[in-house]
């Protein structure tokens, strides 16, 4: 079996973008090989170069044995109701789940994990893990239409990807997360924490652009951009329907940068290109026939969520509410 180093899809767990080794009948990632090694040592199998099938069998047996042991020795409150493997330690609305399951359900995002205590149920954790596993399948079918910085867009599958560089020891890795176009609510651009509405990024396209059920442009904030010699950060914040991860922050600058530098110019160009893509997404969503069974109350709730997030003003909310109620 070769050394770890290349990235690819593991033929045991099915996950992509993993550090893998070549096996006689496929590829095995480091996580699956470690699990197999435990079984190999415990049962003294003496297998040095396991095949994909041997790993699947060993890991499957470990999982089944753990579940059976837990069911026979532990009371239900001591077993995670989602995976049946670990001790539940994380409290959600209607019970407890294990740390592994809540991490999977929230994409390992610390803020989302914290929010999950008040927003997720045991069933929603199960549903979210199922959704995450389905979204992982986009690793194999994602077809990049346009890519700028850490953002990539697939207009064939109506999905966008956020790539996050991470370091595991001395090895640089990249985590890919996938989101549906239809789950986007709005976006805005921040420079050093301040919302940009003019300057090189364009007044008309920044701020308050809403998608999906609420349908239309709900207003743009306008303010003067101060002249700066150095820029610390330039980010796009994408507001999502997912209540556990309502905002995705995508950075385009990673260090203090001079405002006239080539790096800053390239970053602002990438941001502007992303804005153009979001505009295209918005136009496609608005031109897609919407269900006719959405009630006025549901629409008002959608606009109230935008008000609570500071995306629209109280005046804009009141105006839309009156319109929907026919007042």
pLDDT digits (tens, 9 = 90+) for 224-268: 344 678 899 999 998 887 656 678 899 999 889 998 899 999 999
Residue 150: is its pLDDT beyond 90? yes
Helix (H) / strand (E) element for 18: namely strand 18-23
**How far apart, in whole angstroms, are the C-alpha atoms of residue 64 and residue 67?**
5
Report percent pLDDT > 90 for the chain.
17
Express each pLDDT in 108-121 by its tens digit. Answer: 777 788 888 888 89
Give the mean pLDDT of the chain.
76
Contact between 171 and 164 (Cβ < 8 Å): no
Query: For residue 227, what pLDDT is reported?
Result: 60
Residue 197: is its pLDDT beyond 60? no
Query: For residue 304, what pLDDT is reported?
Result: 81
**How far apart, in whole angstroms, are the C-alpha atoms of residue 116 and residue 126?**
13
Query: For residue 296, what pLDDT is reported?
Result: 74
Please measure the distance between the N-terminal and C-terminal CA atoms of the chain and give it in whole angstroms: 72
Confidence band of 16 (pLDDT split at 50, 70, 90): low
**How far apart, in whole angstroms, are the C-alpha atoms of residue 152 and residue 144?**
6
Distances (CA, A) of 75 to 69, 84, 97, 216: 11, 11, 14, 52
Q: What is the DSSP string of 64-117?
A: HHHHHHHHHHS-GGGS-TTTSSS---EEETTEEE-HHHHHHHTTT-HHHHHHHH
**How far apart, in whole angstroms, are the C-alpha atoms of residue 228 and residue 285?**
37
Range 272-280 average pLDDT: 89
Residue 200: is its pLDDT beyond 50? no
**How far apart, in whole angstroms, are the C-alpha atoms of residue 271 and residue 189?**
8
Query: For residue 171, what pLDDT is reported?
Result: 60
Residue 326: is its pLDDT beyond 90? no
Contacts of residue 157, Cβ cutoff 8 Å, sequence gap at least 6: 138, 141, 142, 143
Express each pLDDT in 34-75 by its tens digit. Answer: 877 766 665 556 677 788 888 888 888 777 777 777 777 777
Contact between 212 and 184 (Cβ < 8 Å): yes
Query: For residue 229, what pLDDT is reported?
Result: 83
Beta strand extents in 116-269 (DSSP E only): 146-148, 151-154, 159-168, 171-180, 184-191, 194-195, 209-210, 230-231, 234-240, 247-251, 257-258
Higher pLDDT, 198 or 107: 107
């Amino acid at each position: 079996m070769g050394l770890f180093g290349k990235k690819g899809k593991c033929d045991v767990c099915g996950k992509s973008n993993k550090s893998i080794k070549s096996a006689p009948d496929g590829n095995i990632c480091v996580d699956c090989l470690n699990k197999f090694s435990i079984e190999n040592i415990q049962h003294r199998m003496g297998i040095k170069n396991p095949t994909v099938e041997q790993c699947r069998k060993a890991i499957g047996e470990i999982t089944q044995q753990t579940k059976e042991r837990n069911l026979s020795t532990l009371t239900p409150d001591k077993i995670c109701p989602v995976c049946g493997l670990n001790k539940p330690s994380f409290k959600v609305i209607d019970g407890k789940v294990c740390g592994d399951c809540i991490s999977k359900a929230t994409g390992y995002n610390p803020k989302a994990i914290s929010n999950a205590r008040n927003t997720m149920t045991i069933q929603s954790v199960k549903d979210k893990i199922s959704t995450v596993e389905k979204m992982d399948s986009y690793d194999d079918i994602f077809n990049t239409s346009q890519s700028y910085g850490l953002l990539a867009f697939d207009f064939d599958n109506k999905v966008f990807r956020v790539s996050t560089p991470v370091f595991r020891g001395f090895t640089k890795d990249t985590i890919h997360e996938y989101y549906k176009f239809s789950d986007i609510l709005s976006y805005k651009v921040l420079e050093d924490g301040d919302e940009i509405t003019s300057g090189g990024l364009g007044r008309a396209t920044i701020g308050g652009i809403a998608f999906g059920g609420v349908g239309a442009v709900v207003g743009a904030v306008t303010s003067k951009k101060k002249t700066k010699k150095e820029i610390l950060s330039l980010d796009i914040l994408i507001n999502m329907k997912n209540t556990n991860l309502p905002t995705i922050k995508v950075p385009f600058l990673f260090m203090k940068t001079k405002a006239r530098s080539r790096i800053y110019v390239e970053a602002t160009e990438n941001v502007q290109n992303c804005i153009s893509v979001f505009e295209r997404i918005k136009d496609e969503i608005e031109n897609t026939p919407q269900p006719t069974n959405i009630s006025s109350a549901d629409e008002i709730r959608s606009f109230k969520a935008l008000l609570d997030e500071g995306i629209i003003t109280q005046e804009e909310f009141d105006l839309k509410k009156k319109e929907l109620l026919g007042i």
